[in-house]
Amino acid sequence: MIVKLDALDEGIVRQLVADPRATNAALARLVGLSESAVAVRVNRMVAEKALRLTVERDALSEGLELHVLALVEVDPEFIDDVALKISALSEIDVVFGTERAGALTLLFFAADMDHLNSVVSLIESVSDKIQFVGVHIAGEVYKYSTSYGLLS
């Protein structure tokens, strides 16, 4: 989807990236619009999936110490079906498809190795079209840019 945002939208987005909880009144002052006009624009961008305003919980604080990258090989013919089934698992945070036929990239968190293995078993159990689940544990994270995502 091509998202078209004008200069005022961009101004609002810049402010929101810096302070996601800035009030509409504060945003209005900063970009020179009325409070209601700001609210309309923010709601429109959210509805168009140009912007997502949310809260994130820290995985470590919840005892989830392993950040896991899983590569799943699937019978290419059934990739969409399998991807949707994996996406339905609450344990899995991110599911991406790539142009390599039959390949899915997953991200999830696990408390420890036992938990990790149980999540892998869970993934494997969603479909007999899954051929292989390869798991890689993220160690040091050098860069994690979350100010932009693939929302649409």
Partner 1 sequence: MIQDATNRSILAYLRANGRASNSEIARSIGLSEAAVRQRIKRLLAARVIRFRAVVDASFLGVNVTYFIRATVRSRAYGQFAMVMRDLPPVAFLSRTSGSFNAFLALVAPDEDFAKLFLESWFENNPNVLRYEADRFRKVYKYDPDRSMINGVIDDFQSFELPGEPFSRWLSTEFRQVDNPLPNPTRENEECGSD
What residue ranges bind partner 1 (CB under 8 A)? 1-3, 5, 10, 13-14, 16-18, 20-21, 42, 49-62, 64, 67, 69, 71, 83-84, 86-87, 92-100, 103-105, 107, 109, 134-152
- Is the CB of 58 or the CB of 114 nearer to partner 1? 58
We find the least distance from the C-beta atom of residue 124 to partner 1, in angstroms, to be 17
Q: From residue 13, how far is each of 25, 30, 39, 100, 132 by CA, in Å? A: 15, 11, 12, 34, 41
- Is the CB of 96 or the CB of 125 nearer to partner 1? 96
We find the least distance from the C-beta atom of residue 117 to partner 1, in angstroms, to be 15
Exposure b/e, 38-69, CB count within 10 A at least 16 = b: beebbeebeeeebbeeeeeeebeeeebebbbe
Cα(14)–Cα(20) distance, integer angstroms:
10
- Is the CB of 30 or the CB of 71 nearer to partner 1? 71
How far does CA 21 lie from the centroid of its chain? 20
Local structure of 109: helix, strand or coil: strand
- Is the CB of 76 or the CB of 125 nearer to partner 1? 76
DSSP label at 5?
A: -
We find the least distance from the C-beta atom of residue 56 to partner 1, in angstroms, to be 4
We find the least distance from the C-beta atom of residue 126 to partner 1, in angstroms, to be 12
